[in-house]
Amino acid sequence: MDKNVVQFANQNYLNLETFRKNGEAVRTPVWFVQDGDTFYVRTLNASGKVKRIRNNGSVNIMPCGRSGEPLGEWVTAQGREITDAATASLVQKLLVEKYAEQVAMFEARTKAGGLEYTVLCINPGA
């Protein structure tokens, strides 16, 4: 496993830095799961980070605390939205394994609000 990827082991959050059309960086601490050297973030499909990645897939990631405080080094990565059911199912399974009952709580709120999730796939070094 790449040394840049190892720093994310046993971390609950990563800081996802995406870029607006004007080039301004936006940093967002998010839950994530990992499958090999690939990271996945499940988020609301209408969120700003999804819109920014749809426009520009160049991102930076860093392990962080709940409020975004740095716990490692920035890693250049490529992000893209994934919409297939198999990936969504894998991410769901990994989220439940990592975050347990917290996932169900957020899913209930999302469903009650009539909102939908999407999955972001992040490949470091790409």
Long-range contacts of 20-29 (CB under 8 A, 24+ apart): 20/52, 21/55, 21/56, 25/60, 26/52, 27/68, 28/68, 29/64, 29/65, 29/66, 29/67, 29/68
pTM, rounded to two decimals: 0.90
Question: Which pLDDT tens digit goes with each residue over 65-98?
Answer: 999 999 999 999 999 999 999 999 999 999 988 9
Overall average pLDDT of the 35-54 stretch = 95
The domain segmentation of the chain, as residue ranges, is: 3-124
Per residue in 95-116, pLDDT (tens digit) is: 988 998 877 777 777 777 777 8
CATH H-level, domain 3-124: superfamily: Electron Transport, Fmn-binding Protein; Chain A (2.30.110.10)
pLDDT of 103 reads 76
